[in-house]
């Protein structure tokens, strides 16, 4: 048994994060300390341009392997695990037949094939009904357009469908034999009445989705069942181990960052970028620029803005023009991003008028435009490599600030930013985030916020804590707070206005 297990405080739970590129299992004690983890990669299939699929069996193999590896490496007695909960990638469509067998590979959140179906949903339902019935726009990432695509393109497979599940719910099904989902993940299907926390019968009828396909809705901390003997044999856990309903990855990530109550804002700078703000009641942006979803606890919702290229914009620069940093980093045994961000310090806030639009993969918030593309504006002979790198970092922050500004416009309480994702490891980026937003910024205590959040949900279901809020207050510790610098904040305000003026001027040229 590892020393970490011997020093564990209170009950133990497991959080299992089913991401797009891998599954990670983590053992967490009652103090919120992560005692051990095990990760297994998962491949993405791209059978056609713009398509992205995964075989749900690959999820199961990765999850059971991660769980078995965690138990084996920790030397833990499986019976010591009080509960297990999953965090999962959102929006994916898992179609099961009457025997519980997968009908076809899952169409993922990043798959773009259903854009024509989104247009037909808008024609059939109307923007006003989308707002009032499901609180969100019709986007290819959501689940409902994928159903229409199946109806129109694979009618034989569609005839076989008996049940629709989301990715983590399929793994829960393999663990327990129980078919169920929960509010935070179901919010992203475009089939749920987010405000009333129930399936939208109007939307289901309008899209001709069989009501019997949709599973029961549960709270994230509800125990949906115990581990079956077969699943216990495959995972190394004890039969009967309680399995909670779990939550969507963004919601679980917010729990793992301690962002469950209004006032705090979770900002994640990963491959993509997100801004998530909890609300006490259901809120819907009239322009539906923000997503409106249920949080992982009763009586709590959140608004979320998404930008499609955040950290990936800096990675793009590293890959196409970062050979000097990559080479030096290899020689010194450090991360190339350390050198890139050090280079960025050579340019002033606002980059002397140089602006970068980070629309390298299209954009989601506030411009739902898959044709939007990256742009540098303001290049001249005085601009250096430092200006290029810093402008990318600033462009990402301005994209995140667009979402924060919409939240301000809607009157959402905003007092403090908690940052996560790979970008939160950069002290410069965190200072820039504080300066640009005007808020104090602290960083998450772990990079595995979704896994930690799922483990805390399991702790609540096991009775370690009375609520998710209490679990976060008792366990989440943030790093030192970064305060905004007023002179830099003024430079960023002017630069952000310049940034914001560019998309309307270029919109008609994108996709031309």
How far apart, in whole angstroms, are the C-alpha atoms of residue 478 and residue 123?
A: 46
Considering the candidates 249, 285, 435, 448, report the single residue annotated as catalytic.
Answer: 249
User: Cα-Cα-Cα-Cα dihedral of 497, 502, 504, 506, to 10°?
Assistant: 180
DSSP designation for 193:
E
- At residue 74, φ and ψ (nearest 5 deg) are -85, -20
- In the residue annotation, 185 being an active-site residue is answered as no
| 505 class by beta-carbon count within 10 Å (0-12 exposed, 13-18 middle, 19+ buried) | exposed
How far apart, in whole angstroms, are the C-alpha atoms of residue 466 and residue 457?
A: 11
Backbone dihedral region of 352: left (phi > 0), alpha (psi from -120 to 50 degrees) or beta? left
- Cis upstream peptide for 366 (omega within 30°): yes
DSSP H or E stretch at residue 161: none
How far apart, in whole angstroms, are the C-alpha atoms of residue 497 and residue 373?
A: 19
- At residue 261, φ and ψ (nearest 5 deg) are -115, 150
The pair of three-digit structure tokens given for residue 475, joined into one six-digit string = 């366990």
Q: Is the dihedral of CA 344, 350, 352, 358 positive or negative?
A: positive
Give Rg (Cα) of the chain. 22
**Which residues are identified as catalytic?**
249
């Amino acid at each position: 048994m590892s020393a970490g297990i011997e020093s564990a405080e209170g009950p133990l739970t497991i959080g299992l994060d089913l991401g797009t590129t891998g599954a990670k299992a983590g053992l967490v004690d009652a103090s919120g300390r992560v005692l051990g983890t095990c990760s297994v990669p998962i491949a993405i299939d791209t059978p056609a341009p713009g398509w992205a699929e995964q075989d749900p069996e690959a999820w199961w193999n990765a999850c059971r392997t991660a769980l078995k590896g965690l138990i084996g490496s920790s030397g833990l007695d499986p019976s010591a695990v009080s509960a297990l909960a999953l965090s999962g990638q959102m929006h994916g469509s898992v179609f099961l037949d009457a025997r519980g067998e997968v009908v076809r590979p899952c169409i993922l959140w990043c798959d773009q094939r259903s854009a024509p179906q989104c247009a037909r949903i808008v024609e059939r339902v109307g923007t006003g009904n989308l707002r009032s019935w499901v609180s969100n726009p019709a986007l290819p990432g959501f689940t409902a357009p994928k159903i229409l695509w199946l109806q129109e393109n694979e009618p034989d497979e569609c005839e076989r469908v008996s049940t629709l599940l989301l990715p983590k719910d399929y793994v829960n099904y393999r663990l327990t034999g129980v078919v169920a989902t929960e509010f935070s993940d179901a919010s992203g299907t475009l089939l749920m009445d987010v405000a009333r926390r129930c399936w939208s019968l109007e939307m289901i009828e309008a899209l001709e989705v069989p009501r019997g396909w949709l599973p029961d809705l549960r709270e994230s901390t509800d125990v949906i069942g115990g581990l079956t003997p077969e699943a216990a044999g495959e995972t190394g856990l004890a039969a009967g181990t309680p399995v909670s309903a779990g939550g969507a990855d963004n919601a679980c990530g917010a729990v793992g960052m301690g962002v469950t109550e209004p006032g705090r804002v979770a900002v994640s700078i990963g491959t993509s970028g997100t801004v998530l703000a909890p609300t006490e009641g259901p809120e819907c942006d009239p322009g539906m620029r923000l997503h409106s979803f249920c949080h992982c606890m009763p009586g709590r919702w959140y608004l979320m803005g998404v930008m499609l290229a955040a950290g990936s914009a800096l990675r793009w620069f590293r890959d196409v023009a970062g050979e000097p940093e990559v080479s030096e980093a290899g020689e010194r045994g450090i991360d190339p991003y350390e050198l890139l961000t050090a280079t960025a310090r050579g340019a002033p806030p606002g980059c002397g008028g140089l602006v970068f639009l980070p629309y390298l993969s299209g954009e989601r918030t506030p411009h739902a435009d898959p044709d939007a593309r990256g742009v540098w504006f303001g290049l001249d002979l005085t601009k250096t490599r430092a200006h290029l790198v810093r402008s990318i970092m600033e462009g990402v922050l301005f994209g995140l600030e667009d979402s924060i500004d919409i939240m301000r416009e809607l009157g959402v309480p905003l007092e403090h930013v908690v940052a996560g994702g790979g970008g939160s490891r950069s002290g410069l980026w965190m200072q820039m985030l504080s300066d640009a937003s005007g808020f104090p910024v602290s960083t998450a205590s772990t990079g595995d916020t979704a896994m930690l959040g799922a483990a805390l949900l399991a702790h609540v279901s096991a009775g370690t804590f009375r609520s998710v809020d209490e679990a976060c207050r008792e366990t989440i510790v943030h790093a030192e707070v970064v305060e905004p610098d007023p002179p830099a904040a003024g430079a960023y305000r002017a630069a952000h206005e310049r940034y914001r003026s560019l998309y309307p001027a270029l919109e008609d040229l994108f996709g031309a």
